[in-house]
Amino acid sequence: MPNPRGRDHAQPVLTIVGLGAAGASLAWRLLDAGVPFEVVEVPAGAPERSPERTWSTWGPDGPGPFGPLVSASWPRIRVVGRDGGVVTADLGSWRYRSLHSTVLDRAVRRRLERAGVAVHERVLTGPPPAPAVDTRPVPVPATGRTLLRQHFLGYRLRTARPVFDVRTATLMDFRTPQPAGGVAFGYVLPTSPTEALVEYTEFSEHLLTPAQYAEKLGEYLQRSGIGAHEVLSTETGVIPMTDAVFPASGLPGVLRWGAGAGSVRPSTGYSFSTLQRQADALAAQLPGPLTLPPPHRRRHLLMDSVVLQGLADGRLGDGFFVNLFRRNPVHRVLGFLDGTTTPAQDLALMATAPRAAMLAAVAARALPR
Ligand SMILES: Cc1cc2nc3c(=O)[nH]c(=O)nc-3n(C[C@H](O)[C@H](O)[C@H](O)COP(=O)(O)OP(=O)(O)OC[C@H]3O[C@@H](n4cnc5c(N)ncnc54)[C@H](O)[C@@H]3O)c2cc1C
């Protein structure tokens, strides 16, 4: 068939299904490497399309090749205890960074267009044509011991007077009512003295109603004393936090990847930097057959499983997170949460965790479900 663009394109060696965090990350590398591929993505506005979101990561650079697309970064983070005690940590050469999904989407689509890569706008219902990397979301398998959800409502807001410290990201502020079986906290990413993304987040089993999220976020904003403000936009999300194992596609030549393949770290709900590591490894395997690099180390999954259990049964709560940051160098904690710590660093970190609660959670894990 003649090429409608009149350009000579090689036959695609791969179909990427989904152009979210995973799909866009792989597409970016394949464009760099000149590997021919095609994309299938849901048309804008269709209910299957993943909603816009802000991806945060941390580290010395990146995330992956997307450093230039980062919309905001912070050299300091803080965690606030229920009693108002503050742990502030200077990140040195590291940064906490945010990248908005619309920015990545625009950038990758521009590159795809320029390279003449076909983006088929449709809702794929069956299996993709092999070879393919399928990043469509899947239901959470019921095989885990613990399933919590990280669920939140966030407002991008503008205040009437300058109230935010633009150098500091508040990762967890526990001055919110705490749910039974889980934790709740405020999360604040300021982008100017008068603008910030402020979220009310829970790690817990049950979702709230829209009115309950609004009420809890409203309470947190009032308690924060930011005063008069207008809401510019909202962000909501539900991220499963589970120790379940996500099954492979089971189809020859079809690699399932992304949140639907266990890339989300169970104890944090984060996956963006893991996806960058996996995208590098996958791109390096092409044009050969693809094998999914394990998203997380086994010992980290084991530790996460214990933490999830402890959160779910109420043995671990806000104090666990505050002490983690209070009793450890910040790079050790962030490294652990990102899966980059060594066994020695993990041991040092665990030595600062409340021993009785952790042992009880380990014991509970050992019991039959
Ligand atoms: C609101 C929210 C905020 C998050 N924030 C962070 C964060 O700050 N840091 C972090 O590390 N992680 C974060 N996560 C977790 C995780 O990184 C994201 O969920 C990430 O987007 C997962 O990437 P993915 O490619 O697997 O899925 P998605 O990004 O959801 O991509 C899946 C793609 O498949 C497409 N698709 C779906 N169905 C079909 C179909 N039938 N046919 C074709 N295409 C289809 C979708 O439109 C989408 O583009 C967040 C998650 C949520 C929900």
Q: Whose CA is nearest to atom 33 of ligand 1?
A: 18
Q: Is the distance from the beta carbon of residue 169 to the nearest atom of ligand 1 less than 6 Å?
A: no
Task: Please tell me the predicted confidence (pLDDT) of residue 368.
Answer: 55
List helix spans (H) across 226-297: 272-285
| 3-state SS, residue 154 | strand
User: How far is the centre of ligand 1, averaged over its atoms, from the C-alpha of 360 (Å)?
Assistant: 34
Q: Is the distance from the beta carbon of residue 48 to the nearest atom of ligand 1 less than 6 Å?
A: yes
Measured CA to CA, the distance from residue 85 to residue 150 in angstroms comes to 24
Q: Whose CA is nearest to atom 45 of ligand 1?
A: 18
Q: What is the DSSP string of 64-129?
A: GGGGGG--EEESEEEEE-TTS-EEEEE-TT-EEEEEEHHHHHHHHHHHHHHHT--EEES---SPPP
Omega before residue 12 within 30° of 0, cis: no
Q: Whose CA is nearest to atom 3 of ligand 1?
A: 53
With b meaning 16 or more CB within 10 Å and e meaning fewer, what string describes 228-245? ebeeeebbebebbbbbbe
Q: Assess: ipTM above 0.85.
A: yes
Measured CA to CA, the distance from residue 305 to residue 311 in angstroms comes to 10
Residue 39 pairs in a beta bridge with 16, 119
Q: Is the distance from the beta carbon of residue 164 to the nearest atom of ligand 1 less than 6 Å?
A: no
CATH node for 15-74+100-142+243-285: 3.50.50.60
Task: Please tell me the predicted confidence (pLDDT) of residue 181.
Answer: 84
Q: CA torsion 277→282→283→286, rounded to 10°?
A: 160
Q: Is the distance from the beta carbon of residue 100 to the nearest atom of ligand 1 less than 6 Å?
A: no
User: How far is the centre of ligand 1, averaged over its atoms, from the C-alpha of 174 (Å)?
Assistant: 27
Give the C-alpha distances (Å, rounded to integers) separating 314 from 104, 182, 268: 38, 6, 17
Q: Whose CA is nearest to atom 35 of ligand 1?
A: 18
Output the six-digit token pair for 35: 């590997």
Measured CA to CA, the distance from residue 103 to residue 209 in angstroms comes to 30
Q: Is 152 exposed, middle or buried (0-12, 13-18, 19+ CB in 10 A)?
A: buried
Q: Taking the chain, what is the end-to-end CA distance rounded to the nearest angstrom?
A: 57
Q: Whose CA is nearest to atom 21 of ligand 1?
A: 21
Q: Is the distance from the beta carbon of residue 335 to the nearest atom of ligand 1 less than 6 Å?
A: no
Q: Is the distance from the beta carbon of residue 50 to the nearest atom of ligand 1 less than 6 Å?
A: yes
Give the C-alpha distances (Å, rounded to integers) separating 300 from 42, 107, 119, 291, 304: 34, 33, 37, 21, 6
Q: Where in the chain are the domains?
A: 15-74+100-142+243-285, 147-242, 298-366
Ligand 1, closest atom to CA 258? 26
- Taking each helix axis as running N to C, give the angle between helix 21-33 and helix 272-285, from 0 to 180 degrees, rounded to the nearest 10: 40
CB neighbours of residue 316 within 10 Å: 23
User: How far is the centre of ligand 1, averaged over its atoms, from the C-alpha of 163 (Å)?
Assistant: 32
Mean pLDDT by 10 residues, the chain (369 residues): 44 96 98 97 97 96 97 98 97 98 98 98 97 97 95 98 98 93 96 98 97 97 96 97 96 97 96 98 94 96 94 92 96 96 94 77 63
- The answer to whether 358 touches 267, Cβ cutoff 8 Å, is no
Q: Kindly give, in sequence order, each residue whose CB lies less than 8 Å from that of residue 340, ignoring residues fewer than 6 positions away.
A: none
- The answer to whether 52 touches 235, Cβ cutoff 8 Å, is yes
Measured CA to CA, the distance from residue 140 to residue 52 in angstroms comes to 21
Q: Whose CA is nearest to atom 13 of ligand 1?
A: 270
**Mutational test site, ligand 1, from 38, 55, 56, 138, max ligand atoms within 8 Å of CB:** 55
The CA-CA-CA angle for residues 190, 320, 153, to 5°, reads 40
